Amino acid sequence: MDFDVPQETADFAAEVERVLRSPETARLLHDVHARADGMDGDVRPLYRHLGAAGILAPSWPVEYGGRGLDYTATVTLLEQLVAHGIPQNLYCISVQNVGSLILASGDERQRKTLLPAMASAETTACILFTEPTNGSDLAALQTTAVRDGDGWVINGRKTYNLKSAYADFALIAVRTDPQSSQYEGITLFLVPLDAPGVVIRPIPSLANEQFHDIWFTDVRVGDDAVFGKPGAGWSLITQMFAAERTGLDYYARGRHWLNMIAERLDADGRRPGDVTRVGLAKHRTRLAASKLLSCQVMQNLQDGNADIAESSFAKWHCSETGQRIAWWALDALGPDVLVPGPGAGDRILEAALRESPGVTISGGASEVMIDILSSARVYDAGGAAAPAPGPALDPVQERLREAVDAVLTRTGDLSEQLGTIGVPALSAPASLGGAALGLGADIVINDRLGHALQPLACYRDTAFALDLLDGADVPADIPADILSGLLDGTSHGVVIGARGPSGVRVKGDGTLWGESEPLPRGTAGLCVVRTDEGWHLVLPDPATCLVDAFEHFGTPATRIRFDGAPAEPLPITEERWRRALDAARLRQAALLLGVADRILEVARAHVNTRVQSGRPLVERQTVAHRLATLVGEGDGWRLVLHRAAWQFDRDEDASAASVLAALAEHAQLASRTALQLHGVRGMLAHSTTATAYRQVSVESTRLGSPADLWLAAAA
């Protein structure tokens, strides 16, 4: 996935902003909200105004009323519509769902007649799938269309749909062949809602938008109302679900709700407490994953690689995140949220609390979404597991990944073996003789080390130390052989005090005394030490630096005791420290993601083969869904991590503390879940689950516990 947003999208965003800020938009929006009962009014005049400005279908081809832009334009459009308080449901159903299906699978007549009118909002559509007796099991629908002369006659009842009262026509799924299998006898129709025999009645809902009951009594339509081929409805529905379940709409709402909460907290004038600020940081980080998962689905749809499992998970992630945010408003703001204030902004969070239960039900209930992901990624149908989707690696990163994997099959000291393929020299700073490939390369290396359950913490400490020493003010007298040892992996850099000033003190003569925290085990070539007095460089000498080796929760570790070690003060600026720490946090996050992936693979293999009560564990939803959720979450965190590295390499804020906190929590949950699903076997001392459990416990706290990191992120 490409993290760059094209210039055309930035230009389009500016244009959308101008339209949305215009007085005419404000006037029409006021009319929508003016309904006395608080229910959403008729949004069509407002949509027609936006449609006339040409902004509603940016990613459609120009000949069908679009702008020919890529999917990122749709993302920014929806973010902006929702941020400006414009009701988005009818737009999403009509343009994004029905319109996009017509674009992908309609015939040329349907495209030419319907799409330009939908893009300009002169015509709007709704979806009628749900019936009183079906729901998640959509294929159980009972409404029928029977051939009659040169047309069809429709009878039945659709229910719980939104927006039928404001739609001109409906995409409706009916049974046309009761004799064939449940899935084969379904056909889609495009039916005008003013046709004789159609009756629409509102059903009040907890939320602002009403549901509707729609009766079809002997409704006669022609062959031209058939969408696709008779009997081919199910595959079109599946195709539509892949496109409908991008999650974008839910993400945009969650983002808006979170911004509204933050605004209300700001307006309060008091600095929110730690718990609230940490809550904000957590929701923001999760929302970033939602957006990236949604964008990945949209990118794949654009490239013709739609995948229903990927879409279903994006829908799950975005809707669950949005819902959690809406519910969190109660925690963050208290009961005031329940009382709608006079301003439009005051009403949004109260309405969100009533709307949010529906987001994990509409468009496919959360459990069903996870079930679909579970079938694709957890259940083993005999073939290989579907490969994890993720950001595309560039050719250099791809080669590096292969090279690291090859090294991991060799025997001998891993650090030295990595040195033979240029690690860590490839990513070390140029000022110290490295190739400065960037953090993106480091992410790949650490992900693979984690996956191999070879944490090799001394390698990351070396990279950290080298980053701290990267600058013109570094003492020139680091001996060349020490530097080359660090670069070729035969010795290591050590950073002491990364989590705060260490137990090491400086005496008046500049020597260091005291004991370090637990450190990765390796041959220390140099130490960068943070004390209360500042930073120091020590070239370890056995006479003054005593190394004590021990096992740190099963991981080889050392402590260095300084007994009057000569030290050189280091002029490490706050900015350099921040940058080196961010890089260290992202490398650590990559390692944890790799461990989590590996342990989930191991758990997947186990639950597919371990039989209890006559069937494999994977056939129980409580087992399969737990794993599928973690697998999908890992996909989201992988995107967040790669984007953070991409931002870091561009000197942008990478939110590294949040990313590491999220990945540390993910790895902890993955390792604990894998252990649980293995039962007693997971506790055997040398089992993979026990190894991963120990490694995650050490590595997920090495640069601070998740709680410390969230606090740092919220500062």
Ligand X SMILES: Cc1cc2nc3c(=O)[nH]c(=O)nc-3n(C[C@H](O)[C@H](O)[C@H](O)COP(=O)(O)OP(=O)(O)OC[C@H]3O[C@@H](n4cnc5c(N)ncnc54)[C@H](O)[C@@H]3O)c2cc1C
Torsion of the alpha carbons at 245, 251, 254 and 258, rounded to the nearest 10: 170
Q: Which of 15, 53, 84, 135 binds ligand X (CB under 6 A)?
A: 135
Is position 160 an interface residue for ligand X (rule: CB under 6 A)? yes
Is position 484 an interface residue for ligand X (rule: CB under 6 A)? no
Within 13 Å of residue 359, how many CA atoms lie on the same side as its CB? 29
Tell me the C-alpha distance between 576 and 432, whole Å. 15
Query: C-beta of 370: minimal distance to ligand X in Å?
Result: 8
Q: Which is nearer to ligand X, 259 or 362 (CB)?
A: 362
Is position 362 an interface residue for ligand X (rule: CB under 6 A)? yes
Q: Which of 128, 219, 308, 426 binds ligand X (CB under 6 A)?
A: 128
Is position 368 an interface residue for ligand X (rule: CB under 6 A)? yes
Is position 200 an interface residue for ligand X (rule: CB under 6 A)? no
Instruction: Map the footprint of ligand X across residues 590-629, applying CB under 6 A.
Output: 621
CB 495 within 8 A of CB 461: yes
**Residue keyed to tokens 């570790």:** 557
Query: C-beta of 161: minimal distance to ligand X in Å?
Result: 3
Is position 136 an interface residue for ligand X (rule: CB under 6 A)? yes
> Which token pair is 263?
């605004």
Q: Which is nearer to ligand X, 134 or 235 (CB)?
A: 134
Q: Which is nearer to ligand X, 233 or 389 (CB)?
A: 233
Is position 161 an interface residue for ligand X (rule: CB under 6 A)? yes
Q: Which is nearer to ligand X, 157 or 401 (CB)?
A: 157
Please give the backbone phi and psi of residue 494, each rounded to the nearest 5 degrees, phi first.
Answer: -125, 135
Query: C-beta of 102: minimal distance to ligand X in Å?
Result: 17
Residue closest to ligand X (Cβ): 135
Segment contacting ligand X by CB under 6 A, of 45-53, 121-129, 404-412, 499-507: 121-129
* Nearest of 466, 465, 461, 442 to residue 642 by alpha carbon: 442
Q: What sign results for the dihedral spanned by CA atoms 67, 72, 74, 77?
A: negative
Is position 365 an interface residue for ligand X (rule: CB under 6 A)? yes
Is position 162 an interface residue for ligand X (rule: CB under 6 A)? yes
Is position 358 an interface residue for ligand X (rule: CB under 6 A)? yes
Torsion of the alpha carbons at 712, 713, 714 and 715, rounded to the nearest 10: 50
Q: Which segments within 431-497 are labelled E, that is strand?
A: 492-496
Query: C-beta of 671: minimal distance to ligand X in Å?
Result: 26
How many residues sit close enough to ligand X to count as binding (CB under 6 A)? 18
Q: How far is CA 128 from CA 181, 367, 574, in A?
A: 21, 22, 59
CB 564 within 8 A of CB 526: no
Query: C-beta of 623: minimal distance to ligand X in Å?
Result: 13
CA 656 to chain centre: 15
Tell me the C-alpha distance between 700 and 591, whole Å. 9
Tell me the C-alpha distance between 214 and 217, whole Å. 10
Q: Which is nearer to ligand X, 203 or 684 (CB)?
A: 203
* Nearest of 389, 356, 391, 359 to residue 373 by alpha carbon: 389
Query: C-beta of 164: minimal distance to ligand X in Å?
Result: 8
Q: Which of 168, 367, 517, 619 binds ligand X (CB under 6 A)?
A: 367
Query: C-beta of 87: minimal distance to ligand X in Å?
Result: 13
Segment contacting ligand X by CB under 6 A, of 242-250, 362-370, 506-514, 635-643: 362-370
Q: Which is nearer to ligand X, 367 or 568 (CB)?
A: 367
Query: C-beta of 211: minimal distance to ligand X in Å?
Result: 7
Q: Which is nearer to ligand X, 156 or 525 (CB)?
A: 156
Is position 556 an interface residue for ligand X (rule: CB under 6 A)? no
Query: C-beta of 39: minimal distance to ligand X in Å?
Result: 14
Is position 127 an interface residue for ligand X (rule: CB under 6 A)? yes
Is position 375 an interface residue for ligand X (rule: CB under 6 A)? no
Element (H, E) at 514: strand 511-515
Segment contacting ligand X by CB under 6 A, of 52-60, 128-136, 243-251, 626-634: 128-136
Is position 371 an interface residue for ligand X (rule: CB under 6 A)? yes
Helix axes 248-267, 308-333, angle to 10 degrees: 20
* Nearest of 500, 478, 481 to residue 491 by alpha carbon: 481
Q: Which is nearer to ligand X, 92 or 337 (CB)?
A: 92
Query: C-beta of 132: minimal distance to ligand X in Å?
Result: 9
Q: Which is nearer to ligand X, 136 or 573 (CB)?
A: 136
Of all residues in the chain, what percent are helix, strand and coil, respectively (each to 5)?
Answer: 55, 15, 30
Q: Which of 47, 64, 129, 637 binds ligand X (CB under 6 A)?
A: 129
Beta-carbon contacts of 670 under 8 Å, excluding residues fewer than 6 positions away, are 595, 596, 599, 600, 630, 634, 696
Tell me the C-alpha distance between 86 and 555, whole Å. 55
Residue type at 101? L
Q: DSSP code of 98?
A: I
Q: Which is nearer to ligand X, 75 or 128 (CB)?
A: 128
Segment contacting ligand X by CB under 6 A, of 2-10, 46-54, 358-366, 384-392: 358-366
Is position 361 an interface residue for ligand X (rule: CB under 6 A)? yes
* Nearest of 365, 374, 398, 396 to residue 309 by alpha carbon: 374
Please give the backbone phi and psi of residue 642, each rounded to the nearest 5 degrees, phi first.
Answer: -65, -35
Residue type at 132? P
Q: Which is nearer to ligand X, 81 or 654 (CB)?
A: 81
Residue type at 349? L
Please give the backbone phi and psi of residue 147, each rounded to the nearest 5 degrees, phi first.
Answer: -60, 135
Residues near ligand X (CB under 6 A)? 126-130, 135-136, 160-162, 358, 361-362, 365, 367-368, 371, 621
